[in-house]
Amino acid sequence: MTLILNAHIHATPGQRDQLKAELLKLVPPTRAEVGCNFYELHEDLSDENHFMFHESWKNREASDQHMKTDHIAAFRAVTAGMIADFKLYEMRKLD
């Protein structure tokens, strides 16, 4: 089953630009991963500290492998303290 994820990330005040730069670094290596159907980064037009990844994975295993990659580990290390809130929504397409 295709897995759709929406990851909502809120920057800590004053950390927006640094967090945005680090989020953008995730896009190319993630799109190259086996099992990634799409991986899109969005920013909220009314809240500059709010970002969202809209993702599609071939299956849960592909998503789980993504979370174990070196680029995700590096992102976590570099962005410690930059993220005020994170929510992940797991979805499936109905049509």
Q: What is the residue-averaged pLDDT of the chain? A: 97
pLDDT of 94 over the 90 cut = no
Are 40 and 56 spatial neighbours (Cβ–Cβ below 8 Å)? no
The predicted structure's pLDDT at residue 53? 98
pTM across the whole model: 0.94
On whether residue 43 sits in a domain, the answer given is yes
On whether residue 26 sits in a domain, the answer given is yes
pLDDT digits (tens, 9 = 90+) for 52-92: 999 999 999 999 999 999 999 999 999 999 999 999 999 98
- Which position has the token pair 């992102």? 75
On whether residue 70 sits in a domain, the answer given is no
Give counts: helices (H), strands (E), the chain: 3, 4
On whether residue 76 sits in a domain, the answer given is no
Domain containing 15 — which CATH number? Answer: 3.30.70.100
SS3 per residue for 20-57: HHHHHHHHHHHHCCCCEEEEEEEECCCCCCEEEEEEEE
Measured CA distances, 63 to 2, 6, 34 (Å): 10, 12, 10
The predicted structure's pLDDT at residue 7? 98
On whether residue 81 sits in a domain, the answer given is no
Provide the percentage of residues in the chain whose pLDDT is more than 90: 95
The predicted structure's pLDDT at residue 14? 97
On whether residue 29 sits in a domain, the answer given is yes
On whether residue 35 sits in a domain, the answer given is yes
> Based on the structure, what is the number of domains in the chain?
1
Residue 18 domain boundaries? 1-56
On whether residue 51 sits in a domain, the answer given is yes
